[in-house]
A and B are shown apart, each in its own frame.
Chain A
Amino acid sequence: DADVTQTPRNRITKTGKRIMLECSQTKGHDRMYWYRQDPGLGLRLIYYSFDVKDINKGEISDGYSVSRQAQAKFSLSLESAIPNQTALYFCATSDPTGTGKTYEQYFGPGTRLTVT
């Protein structure tokens, strides 16, 4: 089974709708991240959480909110979706206390979101 899972994998929604993207991990990592990926712009950080009680805004947090329900779960919400939020969304985890590849981030398979 995948260590970082995302649901749904694909979603089409209409402008103004509320939508939630979910991320679960079995790696036991404290740090979790939400990114969006757009052609030519790469990965841009939306929100990140270094532990269950810690939530921080990233580079492009406007229009998004998050919830860290447990160490293993980190959800991203679009309160009122708009077309320019059409993108590929990735969840990632990292474990800075681990040995070896300390700064490695482990990514989920992504959610392709289309807002019409």
Chain B
Amino acid sequence: QKEVEQDPGPLSVPEGAIVSLNCTYSNSAFQYFMWYRQYSRKGPELLMYTYSSGNKEDGRFTAQVDKSSKYISLFIRDSQPSDSATYLCAMSDTGGFKTIFGAGTRLFVKA
């Protein structure tokens, strides 16, 4: 069993749609939960991070963590063509000694 599972997609939505991206994980030691965004031919960049369970909102983006279910989500409201990218979930233990990444979900937002 992989430590983190993420559907690679691709996911194609019309402009303005609400997008839901998800990951499941198995290691309960993870305390930091992150979403990275990777544009074509670029390195990943941190989009959002959350410590432990709960929600965090930043503009059109909302990250949710449910540690009891080992499930994390990223919601994108009013999606734009510029949101077209690969989104990777990541999680880390306290101290940052171990960080793992999901396979990434490729998102296309059509104008």
Contact = CB atoms under 8 A, between A and B. Distances in A.
Interface of A: 4, 31, 35, 39-43, 45, 90, 92, 94, 96, 101-105, 107-110
B32 to A, nearest CB: 5
A110 B95 CA distance: 26
Chain A, interface SS category: loop
Contacts, number: 51
Interface residues of B, number: 22
Contacts of A109: 41-43
Given A4-B43, A105-B46, 7 more contacts: A31-B96, A42-B6, A94-B96, A101-B49, A103-B96, A107-B45, A108-B43
Contacts of B43: 4, 90, 92, 107-110
A93 B103 CA distance: 20
B92 interface: yes
A43 B89 CA distance: 10
Nearest 8 CB-CB pairings of A with B:
A107-B43, A42-B103, A43-B101, A96-B96, A103-B92, A103-B32, A103-B96, A104-B46
